[in-house]
Amino acid sequence: MVKTSVEHVQVAQGEAGRRIDNYLTGLLRDVPKTRIYRMLRKGEVRVNGGRIRQDYRLQEQDIIRIPPFYKEIRQGGLLPPSTRLQGMLRANILYEDDWLLAVNKPAGIAVHAGSGEPHGVIEVMRILRPECATLELVHRLDKATSGCLLLAKDHRYLRDLHEMLRHNQVHKHYIALVSGQIPRKLEISLPLRKNELRSGERMVQVDATGKSAKTFFYPEKKIKDATLVQIEIVTGRTHQIRVHAAHCGHPVAGDPKYGDRNFNRALKRAGLHRMFLHADSLTLMLPQTGKTRTICAPLPDDLKIFLEKYSRTNESRAD
């Protein structure tokens, strides 16, 4: 482990308007995100000599104080992600242009390093695209969720996409297997609030004091005691689909946090070894061209195989 020295960085014109937490995540690529947020909470990071919140928007010529931190060194430098992981993500690139990159994120891989994860999608993609010095995540997916994940190659483009997300101009569609029978379209509009347990585990719950959230469930196929659904989310809250599904009595299959243990146990015996939630597609207007594009992520083979096997008995089409 090597301890760095205090650094002072001046914000360039092209960085103005970015949130300080996103800026630091890109600048300190070898530092776990949990450590970066701890720096901000404790006031170790200063801007122009003063403490700032994690959502502070940078201004041109701001002076940022970067506190000392420890870096783990291996022979030849920082331990890189495995060749297998790099190859897996390279093979799962769905779309790429001069400003945007989309990846079909495999389940079980975090979107960024931290909380015991040495590498996430963003760290690996920065290695695969070293010419993209400002590559950043546009949004996030849970570690257990597979599917379409967007990354921006330019900070101005990133700001445009974040603005589109805030105004619900990016249409997100998911596929999930949920417990029980959903006979018709189901709309859930319930506010969600994040809560952190003593163990440090983050939970989300329906709460009147939370942020607004809206989810649509469209039944596609009834299979035994479950329903295959298409899902559209209007907002993008943490764990939104999982919490809304559980709250209305139809938890996502294989969900270890909000799911039904008996249902999960039965599906595991039937061959499901992960959460059945997949980010199927994203539709958005590309800010640089004004053209609308839909980016689709094929359902992973493990979910396809399980679905075919599980559908062989008592299958019926949804109404």
Residue-wise pLDDT tens digits, 123-149: 899 889 988 878 889 999 999 999 999
**How far is it, in rounded angstroms, from Cα 103 to Cα 108?**
14
Class of domain 170-317: alpha beta
Q: Judge contact between 223 and 151, C-beta under 8 A.
A: no
Residue 245's pLDDT is what? 97
Q: What is the third-level CATH fold of 2-71?
A: 3.10.290
Catalytic status, residue 62:
no
**How far is it, in rounded angstroms, from Cα 55 to Cα 280?**
30
The confidence band for 116, taking pLDDT boundaries of 50, 70 and 90, is low
- Among 70-74, 118-122, 207-211, the least confident range: 70-74
**How far is it, in rounded angstroms, from Cα 78 to Cα 274?**
31
What residue ranges of the chain are covered by domains with CATH 3.10.290.10?
A: 2-71
Q: Output the pTM of the full model.
A: 0.77
What residue ranges of the chain are covered by domains with CATH 3.30.2350.10?
A: 83-159, 170-317
Q: What is the mean pLDDT of residues 89-103?
A: 94
Give me the percent of the chain exceeding a pLDDT of 70.
90
Residue 312 has pLDDT above 70, yes or no: yes
Residue 190 has pLDDT above 50, yes or no: yes
Q: Judge contact between 108 and 98, C-beta under 8 A.
A: no
Residue among 30, 55, 97, 142 flagged as catalytic = 142
Q: Judge contact between 292 and 285, C-beta under 8 A.
A: yes
Class of domain 83-159: alpha beta
**How far is it, in rounded angstroms, from Cα 183 to Cα 221?**
10
